[in-house]
Amino acid sequence: MLNRAMKMSYEPAIASEPCFGHAIATPAFRLRESDSAEVIAFLAVDPVQTVVMSSYIADNGIVSRLNRGEFFGHRDESGQLDGVALIGHSTLVEARSDEAMQALAQAAKKPTVPVHLIMSNGDDAQRFFDLMTDGLHDPRIRCIEDRFEAAFPFAVQSCEYAIRQADITQLKPVAQAQAELAFIECGVDPMVRDREGFLKRVARRIEQGRVFVVFEDGKLIFKADIIAETSETIYLEGIYVDPEYRGKGIGSRCLAALTARLLSRCPNICLLSNVDFTNAHRSYQKAGYRRTGQCVTLFV
């Protein structure tokens, strides 16, 4: 996310020819706190892909308004979990059978929190959306993102800046930078759409010690947020460099220094970036990240 909006393009949404009208033998069900251990074990099979859901459960529990949605599960004929989804503002899907995908999509037709985006691996997000809407609608934006990861061995790089955890007095510039990135990504400014709620969410991340910043002469010049964290994976987002400081290698050096610090507490760091953000990709690779896959995010 280090380059500007005018350099970005999106691929048009193309329907994946879903099969509609199939009877769902076993419907999805709302997960409860008593399901936590089973759900965490299910998600742990793919710790990078499911890091956000796992982190939400660790941070907030399965049932919490802070999740901005509800967790649903699906069981196969033997009673084993074969699908878990957080259905709400940010809808996250891990379905390991066609039946689970169909059942979870059916549950998303009447969400308690309106769906803003759907994220999953490969073509799963598009298939989920098509099933959820019976193929009658197209997503507003279809964003293909490359996944980048860093792990040991990791080369230590020199960085002239001290990267610190943000404090609550820095809420305003941090929130403004995050809002700018959100607008570039999806065309919606959260400071306009839901200023109070957005500021509360950013403030909570700051209070959790998950926002890292560099200030120079009172100006925010670098920022990165931990959006999700488990014992296996940390997921970074909101990587920002002030426009006046871009193109100087500052972003890659700061990201490398932060990553080296985070690898001391977790074996894998990952982030996502729109496939069109080639400037950002070069910065991530210079910082020591490697491209490992893709996912699709649909903005509804």
For residues 3 and 281, give the distance between their C-alpha atoms in angstroms, rounded to a whole number.
Answer: 10
Q: How are beta strands 164-165 and 29-30 bridged, if at all?
A: unpaired
pLDDT number for residue 271: 98
For residues 210 and 6, give the distance between their C-alpha atoms in angstroms, rounded to a whole number.
Answer: 29
Spell out the SS3 assignment of 46-94: CCCCCHHHHHHHHHHCCCCHHHCEEEEEEECCCCCEEEEEEEECEEEEE
**Could you give the angle at the alpha carbon of 21 between the alpha carbons of 35 and 109, nearest 5°?**
50
Half-sphere exposure of 81 (CA within 13 A, CB side): 21
Q: Tokens 């509804």 sit at which residue?
A: 300
Written as six digits, the tokens of 217 are 């002469």
Q: How are beta strands 219-229 and 211-216 bridged, if at all?
A: antiparallel
pLDDT number for residue 22: 55
pLDDT number for residue 102: 97
Q: Which residues contact 78 (CB under 8 A, 6 or more apart)?
A: none
For residues 130 and 135, give the distance between their C-alpha atoms in angstroms, rounded to a whole number.
Answer: 5
User: Taking the C-alpha atoms of 236, 108, 145 and 285 in order, what is their torsion angle to the nearest 10 degrees?
Assistant: 20
What are the per-10-residue average pLDDT scores of the chain (300 residues)?
A: 35 43 79 98 96 98 97 97 97 97 97 94 92 94 95 92 97 97 89 94 98 97 98 97 95 97 97 95 97 94
For residues 188 and 113, give the distance between their C-alpha atoms in angstroms, rounded to a whole number.
Answer: 18
pTM: 0.88
Contact (Cβ atoms closer than 8 angstroms) between residue 215 and residue 249: no
Helix (H/G/I), strand (E/B), else coil: 231: coil
pLDDT number for residue 11: 44
pLDDT number for residue 122: 81
Structural domains in the chain? 29-134 (3.40.630), 148-299 (3.40.630.30)
Contact (Cβ atoms closer than 8 angstroms) between residue 239 and residue 274: no
Q: How far apart are the first and last CA of the chain?
A: 21
pLDDT number for residue 220: 98
pLDDT number for residue 19: 47
